Structure 1
Amino acid sequence: MDETRGRHSRSDDETRPVDLGPGGLPAREPIATDPDPAVAAALAVVERSIAQMANRVTRPLLDAPSQPYRLRPLAKTGLAMFPVVLDVSRLGEAADRTAAHRALDAYAAAGGNALVVDDAADGASAQLVGTWLASRRRREQTVLAARVGTAGDLTAASLQAAVERLLHRLGTDQLDLLVLAGHDRTTSMEETLTAVAGLFDAQRIGHLAAGDHTPERLIQARVLAGQRGLPRFVAVAPVHSLVARAPFETGVAPVAHAQELAVLPRSPLAGGFLAATVPTRGALRRLRELDPARAERLQPNLTRRGMRIVDAVVRFAGERDVPPAAVALGWLLTRPHIAAPIVSATTVEEVWAATAAAGVHLSRAEVAALDRASAE
């Protein structure tokens, strides 16, 4: 600061001490008078205006910058979600209560307001979320979603039990969004949707989403809803990322467009591959020693195409000084009908890397380069 001041200082004559008037303002000579009464009156008005301005509390010339993101609507439900949804299903496995709450606090501090729990988990994660929502008094500000039927059982009795179990663990009386993980081949779609209708009537859920449903199942569900007056899906949560594009883009995407479904991509970082935490074969060998199951999941991505995608993601992340995960998620946010990707995170660092995507606005050239790198 001294050097800066020195470069812009004036000569000794110009930097002589300034007399301060009342309030710490520089003393000012009165405005010159004029013998013409009209001019004198005008000068008096100017004098008073200057005095009023000197005593007025000033504000910055520019307002504080707005949030670097905007909440994204979930179809026509009236719900608005942060651009990244936090999947908290693994919180109970990898963190104690304090660490889990710290990760949730980091998400909320970034502006996050949408959480997903899974009934397939042992219940610890849902309980951690419930205690956090209560202690922080954030239930009203949070879009709470739950995934049920992961084990493939979507009978009326199983669905009712799963929802009640989740509500109890979360300490709330309603889920904002119920996600059916897939289609139960032994249970008709009509039975499942009829059970969902009962949950709607009891005000236990607010809206319904599909999970790993095929295009044919989505069409069947819409037809049944129209014919029987049953609940409609408002969203779909398929696997979709830079690595896994074709199944969604050639299958579910056209139906989602036709039915105006919001899309909540799952596994958007391909198990951490697009977070560049394991970008090389050497790193994968080391990972096999620490986490064989995860290494097995990442192995199929170590192809020329996979490495081409990671190279592009890492390059743009470096140019923008953001985590690679933010670029991979930022690409998804440019796609049609994407409401918000669902990201699993258990640490503050993982949360920060994911939520940084909300402030990433990729250029057309960057999007085109990622499109080319990920073309199949």
Structure 2
Amino acid sequence: MSRIGNSDLDVLPLSLGGNVFGWTADRDTSFAVLDAFHAGGGDFIDTADAYSAWVPGNSGGESETLIGEWLASRRPENVVVATKVSQHPQFQGLSAANVRAAAEASLKRLGVDTIDLYYAHFDDESVPLEETVAAFGDLVKDGLVRYTAVSNYTGPRIREWIGYAQAAGSALPVAVQPHYNLVHRNEVEEGVVPVAEEFGLGLVPYSALASGFLTGKYRSTDATGQSSPRAQGAAKYATAQGLKIIDALEGIGKAHGVSIASTALAWLRAQPTVVAPIASASRVDQVGGLLDSARVDLTADEIGELTRLSEWNPDQG
């Protein structure tokens, strides 16, 4: 089990991404994925109020609604649910009034009394940060939220947030959700990890499999004939360096009897301050491989090899 920052939330070191629920996974599939994840020991679910407003016919909140229906139907014990605010079409930004209204709407959709972990989804520089920090602190004080967190914030802005919270005696964030994986490292390792280490924040990285590239499924930069945005996003990583990373992941994974994706997630889990990578599943048969990542321990040499191969080198293309 892993503890999320300075909170009392202990979770299996893998978070199930809810972005696909109501998008590439319908209600029955979403329930089946959640059932398989929980049956396999998973207890940390990540979503956002905006999921999945980008789908034609959706308006936002579909993922939270499905998770809420699953929670009501199954009544699982000790499940931690994280959600986010700022991107829902009806609740844009991080003004105090919007943060409160969005949290209340998320609580209703999830069917819970308290949100375990509540993220500011994207920084909103149109609102004074002090106002946003106070709004999040009030949610904790009023019992609507247990712990606060930030997503897609730079190191300096996280430090600024913490400064305002400390000055006001308000709730401090316990987690950061950055874009972080084997082929997207520098921004996080140089700017966010040092702040997380200083203040005891836990990283919960999203895009942990690089749009599916780190599953080994996409091995060409030519996305011709690939209609899905996921395939288009993955193809850009299929450089010479990227393919060396995939080959190494495949070899190391075979030594442990796990998949390329499991190995990529295990590397990420081993990085400083990382609590639980986020990975999603649109099919039940994908869940087992994700869960494997939370239990396989790579050797120091294996971690070192992957770290070396994935270091950014502008000459490698």
| TM-score, scaled relative to structure 1 | 0.77
**Structure with more of its chain in helix, by fraction:** 1
Q: Is the 8 A contact 1:89 1:126 kept in 2?
A: no
Question: Separation in 2 of the partners of 1:207 and 1:342?
Answer: 18
Q: Return the index of the structure with the highest Cα Rg.
A: 1
**One-letter code aligned to 2:189:** E
- The residue number in structure 2 matching 1:120 is 50
1:202-260 residue CA offsets vs partner (Å, 9 max, x unmatched): 20000011111111111111211122222211111111111111111111111111111
1:327 is aligned to 2:263:
yes
How do residues 275-290 of structure 1 correspond to structure 2 at under 5 angstroms?
275-281=215-221, 284-287=223-226, 290=227
- Aligned to 1:135, what secondary structure does the other structure show? helix
- The residue number in structure 1 matching 2:107 is 167
**1:182, distance to aligned residue in structure 2 (A):** 2.0
**One-letter code aligned to 2:83:** A
1:149 is aligned to 2:90:
no
Q: Is the 8 A contact 2:249 2:306 kept in 1?
A: yes
Q: Is the 8 A contact 2:221 2:239 kept in 1?
A: no
Residues 96 and 299 of structure 1: CA distance in aligned 2, closer, same or farther (over 3 Å) = closer
- The residue number in structure 2 matching 1:7 is none
Question: Separation in 2 of the partners of 1:315 and 1:279?
Answer: 16
Question: Among residues 105, 108, 111, which one is paired with 2:38 in the alignment?
Answer: 108
- The residue number in structure 1 matching 2:29 is 99
**1:335, distance to aligned residue in structure 2 (A):** 1.2
**1:158, distance to aligned residue in structure 2 (A):** 1.2
User: Larger deviation: 126-135 or 107-116?
Assistant: 126-135
**1:278, distance to aligned residue in structure 2 (A):** 1.1
- Aligned to 2:83, what secondary structure does the other structure show? strand
1:338 is aligned to 2:274:
yes
- The residue number in structure 1 matching 2:73 is 135
Residues 319 and 281 of structure 1: CA distance in aligned 2, closer, same or farther (over 3 Å) = farther
- Aligned to 1:310, what secondary structure does the other structure show? helix
Residues 180 and 242 of structure 1: CA distance in aligned 2, closer, same or farther (over 3 Å) = same
Question: Separation in 1 of the partners of 2:138 and 2:163?
Answer: 19
1:23-47 residue CA offsets vs partner (Å, 9 max, x unmatched): xxxxxxxxxxxxxxxxxxxxxxxxx
User: Larger deviation: 314-323 or 202-211?
Assistant: 314-323
Question: Among residues 300, 303, 307, which one is paired with 1:371 in the alignment?
Answer: 307
- The residue number in structure 2 matching 1:83 is 13
Question: Among residues 124, 127, 146, which one is paired with 1:187 in the alignment?
Answer: 127
- The residue number in structure 1 matching 2:177 is 237
1:213 is aligned to 2:153:
yes
Q: Is the 8 A contact 2:15 2:276 kept in 1?
A: yes
| TM-score, scaled relative to structure 2 | 0.91
Question: Separation in 1 of the partners of 2:61 and 2:40?
Answer: 26
Question: Separation in 1 of the partners of 2:36 and 2:263?
Answer: 19
Question: Separation in 2 of the partners of 1:175 and 1:104?
Answer: 18
Question: Separation in 1 of the partners of 2:132 and 2:195?
Answer: 20
1:196 is aligned to 2:133:
no
1:73 is aligned to 2:3:
yes
- Aligned to 2:274, what secondary structure does the other structure show? coil
1:264 is aligned to 2:264:
no
Q: Is the 8 A contact 1:144 1:177 kept in 2?
A: yes
1:318 is aligned to 2:257:
no
Question: Separation in 2 of the partners of 1:147 and 1:309?
Answer: 32
Question: Separation in 2 of the partners of 1:210 and 1:127?
Answer: 22
Question: Separation in 1 of the partners of 2:122 and 2:29?
Answer: 31
Question: Separation in 2 of the partners of 1:223 and 1:97?
Answer: 42
Q: Which has the higher contact order (CA 8 A, sep 6+)?
A: 2
Residues 320 and 286 of structure 1: CA distance in aligned 2, closer, same or farther (over 3 Å) = farther
**One-letter code aligned to 2:182:** L
Residues paired across the two proteins, number? 301
- Aligned to 2:309, what secondary structure does the other structure show? helix
1:298 is aligned to 2:234:
yes
Q: Is the 8 A contact 1:159 1:195 kept in 2?
A: yes
Question: Separation in 2 of the partners of 1:281 and 1:255?
Answer: 35
